[in-house]
Amino acid sequence: MKNVSRRGFIEGGTIATLGMSVLPVDSLYGNQTWKTVRIGVIGTGGRGTSHIVTLLGIEGTEIVALSDLVKSRAENGADLCQKSGKPRPKIYCGDVNTWKELIDNEKLDCVIIATYWDSHTAIALYAMKNGVYPGIEVPAALTVDDTWKLVEMSEKTGIPCMMLENWSFRQDNLAVLNMKRMGMFGEIVHCHCAHSHDCIDHWFFDSKTGDQKWPAEYLLKYNRDQYPTHSVGPIISWMDINRGDIFTEIYSSSSASKGINAYFKRKFGNDHPNANLNYRQGDIVTSLLKTKMGKTLVINYDMQLPRPYSNRWLLEGTLGVYDEEKNSLYLEGKSPEYHLWEGWKPYQDKYNHKWWHSDFSAQSHGGTDYVMLCQFLDAVRAKGPTPIDVYDSSVMTAIVELSGISIEKNAPVPFPDFTKGKWKVNKPYFALDKL
């Protein structure tokens, strides 16, 4: 699989995707073409538009309504639907609560939530209350209290709630999961992951003017791991979190904040308004998490310094180690040379997950979005559990606020058990594959 970042996900892909034939994906529920899933998309900016494009290539779906604060963005999404030969969705635009009208007025099976972070939880709660599956862009919530609200609403209504963490569906990560479940790495002891992605010049700020974009607000207000889900998504399955083990505490530490000011002075000069602001967000946040069964996990937030993209996934067990950044692994008694790395690609091919039976590389994010949305929609169609459930979504999400609390206290803080003890009996179910 290509190492595809979130940058430029539509560039060069929209026209190709709209012209593609529908590609089949193996599902937890088999081939379910008998029911069209009715979808509402709330938030039609860059990420929402990318999801619209992907959804248009999935059989058995209809985008019936779109909502956005900016009418031109919603109209653009409707144009894409119409150009693909699908019915034009109804547009809901007005104030910050117009999305409620979309959920109230339309007969929906699910909503895709791709709005600003601070509205994710409220929309998901309203959807579940109205019997609609929410597929929430990351992060699903910004506070532990809101995360608990998602858990409680899902349990109360019986409506599954899924955070759309696409990196959990990457081809390489699913092959590692297959190998882990076969015992090839032995007993898992430690993992490492990171979201290392220089986002200053395109996501946080405008690269031409230096003006703040909406995520920059969080750099001024908070010091925490702002974006942990891409790094942690695959890890929770590798470590059997919520299914045989659970995080018990998190201790986070932050570096100083130097990179943002240095960027502005380097590119725009000392007199730019953003060059001398006091950003609370440190450049590197390192979090250490411990589990009930004695495993450890290190997470790095690294989104403000000049660097190539990397997730730095590492899985280490009693029989071997996998290192994504090296694109290599070592297996005791199996690797041909003692204590020397061997290439990853042959193992990915041999233990490839059934969801990746075709080449989806032309799709958004190298195919991960397509695979993820196919699995989500098949769960909606079957009225069954989503591949990522509300408990796994909650574990990934809670790291945001908990890391900030730990940094402020300079001490470990307890990690909530969102399963309320069910982790002791829960069995793994994400991406089960018969090899």
For the domain that residue 242 is a member of, what is the CATH number? 3.30.360.10
Residue 431 in any domain: the answer is: no
Of 122, 150, 166, which one is at a domain's C-terminal end?
Answer: 166
Nearest to 136 by CA among 235, 43, 63: 43
User: Which helix (H) or strand (E) covers residue 329, if one does?
Assistant: strand 328-331
Assign 3-state DSSP to the chain and report helix, strand, coil percentages, each to 5: 35, 20, 45
User: Which helix (H) or strand (E) covers residue 173, if one does?
Assistant: helix 171-181
Note the pLDDT of residue 10: 34
Of 166, 200, 228, which one is at a domain's C-terminal end?
Answer: 166
What per-residue string of b and e applies to 355-394 under the rule 16 or more CB within 10 Å gives b? bbeeebeebbbbbbbbbbbbbbbbbbbeeeebbbbbbbbb
Asked if residues 106 and 129 have their Cβ atoms less than 8 Å apart, the reply is no
- Within this chain, do residues 280 and 203 fall inside the same structural domain, yes or no? yes
- Within this chain, do residues 129 and 265 fall inside the same structural domain, yes or no? no
- Residue 310's DSSP bridge partners are 196
Cα separation, 225 vs 164, in Å, equals 18
Note the pLDDT of residue 20: 42
- Within this chain, do residues 173 and 87 fall inside the same structural domain, yes or no? no
Q: Is 122 helix (H, G, I), strand (E, B) or coil?
A: helix
Note the pLDDT of residue 216: 98
Cα separation, 170 vs 191, in Å, equals 17
- Within this chain, do residues 36 and 92 fall inside the same structural domain, yes or no? yes
* C-beta atoms surrounding 75 within 10 Å: 16
Show Cβ contacts of residue 267 under 8 Å, excluding neighbours closer than 6 positions. 201, 210
- Within this chain, do residues 138 and 257 fall inside the same structural domain, yes or no? no
Using CA atoms, how far residue 55 sits from 60, 157, 360, in Å, is 10, 26, 14
Note the pLDDT of residue 9: 32
- Within this chain, do residues 177 and 248 fall inside the same structural domain, yes or no? yes
Cα separation, 174 vs 177, in Å, equals 5
How many structural domains is the chain composed of? 2
Residue 37 in any domain: the answer is: yes
Residue 263 in any domain: the answer is: yes
Note the pLDDT of residue 30: 58
- Within this chain, do residues 41 and 160 fall inside the same structural domain, yes or no? yes
Residue 373 in any domain: the answer is: no
Residue 377 in any domain: the answer is: no
Note the pLDDT of residue 415: 99
Task: Output the tens digit of pLDDT for each of the chain's 435 residues.
Answer: 433 333 333 333 443 444 444 555 566 555 545 689 999 999 999 999 999 999 999 999 999 999 999 999 999 999 999 999 999 999 999 999 999 999 999 999 999 999 999 999 999 999 999 999 999 999 999 999 999 999 999 999 999 999 999 999 999 999 999 999 999 999 999 999 999 999 999 999 999 999 999 999 999 999 999 999 999 999 999 999 999 999 999 999 999 999 999 999 999 999 999 999 999 999 999 999 999 999 999 999 999 999 999 999 999 999 999 999 999 999 999 999 889 999 999 999 999 999 999 989 889 999 999 999 999 999 999 999 999 999 999 999 999 999 999 999 999 999 999 999 999 999 999 999 976
Note the pLDDT of residue 34: 64
Residue 7 in any domain: the answer is: no
- Within this chain, do residues 76 and 140 fall inside the same structural domain, yes or no? yes
Nearest to 431 by CA among 381, 386, 364, 382: 386
User: Which helix (H) or strand (E) covers residue 126, if one does?
Assistant: helix 120-129
Query: pTM (2 decimals)?
Result: 0.93
Note the pLDDT of residue 33: 53
- Within this chain, do residues 83 and 200 fall inside the same structural domain, yes or no? no
Asked if residues 342 and 336 have their Cβ atoms less than 8 Å apart, the reply is yes
- The CATH number of whichever domain residue 43 belongs to comes to 3.40.50.720
Of 166, 185, 205, which one is at a domain's C-terminal end?
Answer: 166
Q: Transcribe 131-150 into DSSP letters.
A: T-EEEEPSPS-SSHHHHHHH
Residue 378 in any domain: the answer is: no
- Within this chain, do residues 292 and 346 fall inside the same structural domain, yes or no? yes
- Within this chain, do residues 307 and 417 fall inside the same structural domain, yes or no? yes
- Within this chain, do residues 125 and 178 fall inside the same structural domain, yes or no? no
Residue 22 in any domain: the answer is: yes
Note the pLDDT of residue 25: 58
**Where in the sequence is the domain holding 196, given as residue range(s)?**
168-354+388-424
Cα separation, 365 vs 10, in Å, equals 9
